[in-house]
Structure 1
Amino acid sequence: MNITANQSESEQGKQGRLIWALCLASIVIYINLYTVQGMLPLIAEHFNVTGAQSTLVLSVTSFTLAFSLLFYAVLSDRVGRLKPIIISLWLLACSNILLIFTTSFDALVIIRLIQGFLLAAVPAIAMAYFKEQLAPDFMLKAAATYIMANSLGGIFGRLFGGLMSQHLSWQQSMGLVFVVTLLGVALVTYLLPRKEIKPDINQNNTTQPKSKLFNDLKGFLIHLKDSKMRLVFIIGGVAFMMMVNQFSFIQLHLMSSPYDLSRFSATLIFLCYLSGTFTSYLSAKWVVKYGSIVLFKAAFLFMVLGTLLTLHDTLWAIVLGFLITASGFFLTHSCCNSFVAIKATAHRAKATSLYLCSYYLGAALGGPYLMIFWQQAEWPGVVVGSLSLLLLLFIAIWFLSRGKLEETTNI
């Protein structure tokens, strides 16, 4: 009895270490991804480029991240989940050394493009890693906690960048990012369990390169042919397309009259992500109790309400509106992640990577799309553009609900 109890405690300890390790890895990833968003004015000044050009350092990273997710899905199905995560994180830490010494904007863009490739490993693999290593009763809790860590990393990264751009030089800022990343990666490496259950998929039994490639493509096609999966990919991509770019344009609005906030003060709007952090944490219980479809509909209503509230155009209304919108978005994102992770019984990393590819492509496309509305009518125009995206989101949720999925716990 004591041996069995000790084994159970040991197993729970490993599961807990895995959750903590991947959540910390997520925070490291999103700090490195979004720190530059708070540093765009400093980047423009240091490298002598326009503000519009400086945004390339974020867009190229997001773009390469989106497509690199597919590569890591294949790689991790071949070699396991652990090695790609550890190797990519250490290379990411080393790449920050290059940022300290870069002297040209072109070199900066190239390094950030490479970093996009390195940043993709953790988000591509994490949910599949959880599904394979954790007991079923841990899975939804782990997924919700992981999404919460994503939110915290995004908040801290942007505020960290804004604070550094106000008080430090470019070299000092990148040196500090390197130190923070190095410490985080070292702790993740220490926490990650050394043993893992290897992915059990058909392609591992093939030896011919053509056969392996065929099975890799087949793995992606399995999920793309699933109409429910496709709808969830669309839901997550459209939701992020709207939400993350709303946060970008509201900063421009808050820095103009009548608010005239400073650059760093305007970035404080990202603290509204905290409502999404809290919602992500609670989402596991809600998915079990209500099912994903009910939560998708509730989240949609939150995003509509939050977006419309900002038209009141007072500071309190904008903050309240973004708190509500962030809650709705992160509830949507948590439901999408849980749905994909649980429904994918094979080629799990490929399912997750397809979802996140759609997710980050949505973010990349949303900027140019909402820019058209901003140029025509500034913030009210962005609200109109957002409502058009929400209409598309409503249609996708409606089609998903037609299948009477009361779901992810029943998949």
Structure 2
Amino acid sequence: MSKAQIAVAEDVTWDGHAKGSNGYRRILAALALAGVATFAQLYSTQAVLPLMAADLRISAAEAALSISLATVGLAVTVLPWSFVADRIGRVRAMAFGIGAATALGLLVPLAPTVPVLLGLRTLEGMALGGIPAIAIAYLNEEVTRIHTALAAGSYVAGTTLGGLAGRLVAGPAGELWGWRAATLAVSLLATVSAVMFLVLVPRQRRFKPTPAQGLRGAWRTLRGHAANPKLFSLYLQAFLLMGGFVAVYNYLGFRLHAEPFALPATLVSLIFLAYLSGTVTSRWAAGLTTRFGRRNVLLAGIMVMAAGLALTLPDNMTATLAGLVIFTGGFFAAHSVGSGWTGAIATEGRAQAASLYNLSYYLGSSVIGWAGGLAFQSFGWAALAMGVIALGITTAAVTALVHGRATVPR
């Protein structure tokens, strides 16, 4: 047999990269860098929304469209990207998406008008649709089955660092040189991360190209996933929790800029350090699923979210910051469990199952993340916070009902 034939034979019988192996570490490092390139760009304007609103003379909800339209663009393309990845491969699809998004991100600071800015942000989000769902499908194929939950949790932890890095870069840069310089700095960070991703990511060994299904076959696959109650409950969880999470971070900055806090933009950008709690809890929650089951850990994460957000209700800086850290940790714990669970439930069409999760996730970000501004502008922070707590309670009730008693994996 030739070397190529031997390699193919080995790949067929290969179980995947095990925890602790060089390939496992390279996958996690590469996907962490993909997370930086993706989520730093996707939320690059979030830390400077008040500066953008003042400079462009638009309202808080209008400024937040620079986030919502980017996430809408991502949401509407996650499914097409999943079918592309089935044909050309996970790694190649992610590389194309990151490259296109980075190029568009470098154009955002040059936007002469608000419509052009929003159009570029939409296209940037559409390019980024090729990353989140494909990354989870790639993990499920290339990592040993027993370690996929932990690997998914590690990937989510990497995305928190990506989102944090973008916001921490944008905040001080925006304070010194304006929001355009801030978005440029984030795009440069994403460019470096994208190059490093391409260098580190291991070749695919278990990927098998899927023939084009046509519209009827694609619809059959998607309908099957959506009709599965357990998957549907996870999609609902993604929509409601992510929407509430983005709404909190979109408008907390406006609250902290105003009286009685009156904080400058640089200090407000530091609230995103709360993402570090998510970096810890996303990995921690993934590990706890082996002891307590995914259902119980997911419900616990939602309850922690609600408790943390309740602490932000008084006009007290210490309570607000502590509550934000707790809220963020609870959200990423729930998200890491939910995102990894889709791949475990779906035995076929895993890329599409993960894409539906991400579609729900980013539609929630777009719709609720924007609509939360209407509640905030009309009724204040308490109305927004209580609304997000209600979304969490609804999610917990549906999860508990659909998934029944938790089963702990052996």
TM-score (norm 1): 0.89
Contact 1:89-1:118 within 8 A present in 2 as well: yes
Relative distance call for 1:79 and 1:10 in structure 2 (3 A) is closer
Relative distance call for 1:249 and 1:109 in structure 2 (3 A) is closer
Displacement of 1:36 in angstroms is 1.2
In 2, the alpha carbon distance for the partners of 1:10 and 1:302 equals: 33
Aligned to 2:344: 342
Relative distance call for 1:306 and 1:229 in structure 2 (3 A) is same
Contact 2:157-2:278 within 8 A present in 1 as well: yes
In 2, the alpha carbon distance for the partners of 1:48 and 1:360 equals: 27
User: 2:325 is paired with a residue of what secondary structure?
Assistant: helix
Aligned to 1:87: 96
Deviations 1:223-262 (A, max 9, x none): 1111100011111221112122112222222222221111
In structure 1, list runs of 5 or more residues that go unmatched. Answer: none
Contact 2:243-2:364 within 8 A present in 1 as well: yes
Displacement of 1:163 in angstroms is 1.4
2:68 is equivalent to residue 67 of structure 1: no
Contact 1:35-1:159 within 8 A present in 2 as well: no
Aligned to 2:306: 304
2:186 to 174, 177, 180: 177
Aligned to 2:198: 189
Deviations 1:120-169 (A, max 9, x none): 11102000001111112331221011000111111221222111111125
In 1, the alpha carbon distance for the partners of 2:106 and 2:307 equals: 44
Displacement of 1:47 in angstroms is 4.9
Amino acid at match of 1:96: G
Aligned to 1:96: 105
Aligned to 2:7: none
Aligned to 1:40: 49
In 2, the alpha carbon distance for the partners of 1:245 and 1:336 equals: 20
Displacement of 1:98 in angstroms is 2.4
Relative distance call for 1:341 and 1:41 in structure 2 (3 A) is same
In 1, the alpha carbon distance for the partners of 2:85 and 2:93 equals: 7
Displacement of 1:76 in angstroms is 1.0
Displacement of 1:170 in angstroms is 5.5
Identify the range of structure 1 (303-312 vs 26-35) with the bigger mean alpha-carbon deviation. Answer: 303-312
Relative distance call for 1:374 and 1:52 in structure 2 (3 A) is closer
Contact 1:132-1:199 within 8 A present in 2 as well: no
In 2, the alpha carbon distance for the partners of 1:57 and 1:171 equals: 13
Deviations 1:53-72 (A, max 9, x none): 33322211111111111111
Contact 1:275-1:327 within 8 A present in 2 as well: yes
Superposition map of 1:132-211 within 5 A: 132-169=141-178, 172-199=181-208, 204=211
Contact 2:171-2:182 within 8 A present in 1 as well: no
Relative distance call for 1:28 and 1:317 in structure 2 (3 A) is same
In 1, the alpha carbon distance for the partners of 2:26 and 2:337 equals: 23
Contact 1:38-1:160 within 8 A present in 2 as well: no
In 2, the alpha carbon distance for the partners of 1:90 and 1:212 equals: 27
Aligned residues: 396
Relative distance call for 1:143 and 1:310 in structure 2 (3 A) is same
Aligned to 2:321: 319
In 2, the alpha carbon distance for the partners of 1:95 and 1:16 equals: 30
2:26 is equivalent to residue 17 of structure 1: yes
TM-score (norm 2): 0.89
Contact 2:134-2:351 within 8 A present in 1 as well: yes
Amino acid at match of 1:269: I
User: 1:35 is paired with a residue of what secondary structure?
Assistant: coil
Deviations 1:188-219 (A, max 9, x none): 11112234422465xx2x6xxxx532222122
Superposition map of 1:249-328 within 5 A: 249-328=251-330
In 1, the alpha carbon distance for the partners of 2:256 and 2:186 equals: 27
Aligned to 2:234: 232
2:124 is equivalent to residue 123 of structure 1: no
Deviations 1:337-382 (A, max 9, x none): 1211212221111011100111111111213443343244311212
RMSD: 2.4
In 1, the alpha carbon distance for the partners of 2:272 and 2:183 equals: 21
User: 1:121 is paired with a residue of what secondary structure?
Assistant: coil
Identify the range of structure 1 (173-182 vs 125-134) with the bigger mean alpha-carbon deviation. Answer: 173-182
Identify the range of structure 1 (34-43 vs 145-154) with the bigger mean alpha-carbon deviation. Answer: 34-43
Relative distance call for 1:149 and 1:68 in structure 2 (3 A) is same
In 1, the alpha carbon distance for the partners of 2:278 and 2:352 equals: 26
Amino acid at match of 1:320: A
Amino acid at match of 1:197: R
Displacement of 1:280 in angstroms is 0.7
Displacement of 1:100 in angstroms is 4.4
Amino acid at match of 1:259: F
In 1, the alpha carbon distance for the partners of 2:191 and 2:301 equals: 37
Superposition map of 1:393-404 within 5 A: 393-402=395-404, 404=405
Relative distance call for 1:179 and 1:375 in structure 2 (3 A) is closer
Aligned to 1:29: 38
Identify the range of structure 1 (183-192 vs 39-48) with the bigger mean alpha-carbon deviation. Answer: 39-48
Amino acid at match of 1:146: Y
Aligned to 2:363: 361
In 1, the alpha carbon distance for the partners of 2:233 and 2:395 equals: 10
Aligned to 2:333: 331
Displacement of 1:50 in angstroms is 5.0
Amino acid at match of 2:355: S
